[in-house]
Amino acid sequence: MDTGAHHEVPTKEKKRPTRKSSASIWTIKITVISFLITIFFSFLSEITANNSSLLVAIFVIIILITVNILFDGIAVAVTSCELAPFLSMASKKVPGSRTAIFLVNNAEKVSNICADVIGDVCGIISGACSAAITVKMTLDPSFDFWVSILINAIIAAITIGGKAFGKFIAVKYNKEYIMFTAKIVSIFRKEK
């Protein structure tokens, strides 16, 4: 007996990834990337700090602190910038503008990579390098205990002060900071 009701046959629909599963995948990816980057930087710093002169170890610390400050600035700039100026630049085909749009549209991930991965890894490793320098200096019989405390305090102060200044610049000149970053990134990432 036909009641006039039509029964639709269920069709398989493609499930779109939910925001929660996308966040979980990103968390796993960034954890693995952090692990690999830390191994790489730790390996380099161990070789440099343990098998080289004091001057080279200090140079490595300066590079790590500079990278930490610059990438922290990228994280701040990308999260504090509006998209509109880059859309305008892209319509005028300004080189790097499409990459800048990509960076701003992915601000959460870019910030995570720059501040949490690269910045934190550089901070941790520069701390390990300063400890290695301190150990080298303690082997010297004329070494003063307070010098190690002073070295660690100077490294921490330069890092924190540098990051504070970098954040000020990144917020005040966020568009310029992102365009500079985008031009460098666009060397390795082809713009569409």
pLDDT tens by residue, 66-124: 999 999 999 999 999 999 999 999 999 999 999 999 999 999 889 988 888 888 888 88
Question: Residue 10: which residues within 8 A CB-CB, separation 6 or more?
Answer: none
Residues 39, 34: Cα–Cα separation, whole Å = 9
Q: What is the pLDDT of residue 89?
A: 92
Which band of pLDDT confidence, cut at 50, 70 and 90, is reported for residue 189? Answer: confident
Highest mean pLDDT among 20-29, 53-62, 178-187: 178-187
Alpha carbon distance, N-terminus to C-terminus of the chain: 60
Express each pLDDT in 119-138 by its tens digit.
888 888 887 777 777 777 77
Q: What is the pLDDT of residue 51?
A: 63
Return the domain boundaries, the chain: 23-185
CA–CA distance from 172 to each of 117, 139, 155, 168 (Å)?
A: 24, 46, 26, 6
Two tokens at 12? 């398989």
Which band of pLDDT confidence, cut at 50, 70 and 90, is reported for residue 177? Answer: very high
Instruction: Tell me the average pLDDT of the chain.
Output: 81
Question: Residue 57: which residues within 8 A CB-CB, separation 6 or more?
Answer: 48, 49, 129, 132, 133, 136
Q: What is the pLDDT of residue 140?
A: 67
Which band of pLDDT confidence, cut at 50, 70 and 90, is reported for residue 16? Answer: low
- In the chain, the percentage of residues whose pLDDT exceeds 90 is 32
CA–CA distance from 38 to each of 9, 62, 65, 108, 187 (Å)?
A: 53, 18, 15, 21, 25
Which band of pLDDT confidence, cut at 50, 70 and 90, is reported for residue 155? Answer: confident
Query: What is the pLDDT averaged over residues 18-43?
Result: 76
- In the chain, the percentage of residues whose pLDDT exceeds 70 is 80
Highest mean pLDDT among 10-14, 21-25, 74-78, 143-147: 74-78
**Helix extents (H) in the chain:** 19-51, 54-80, 84-91, 97-105, 107-111, 120-138, 145-172, 174-188
Q: What is the pLDDT of residue 175?
A: 94
User: Is residue 130 within 8 Å of 61, Cβ to Cβ?
Assistant: yes
In this predicted model, which residue has the larger pLDDT, 133 or 175? 175
pTM of the model: 0.74
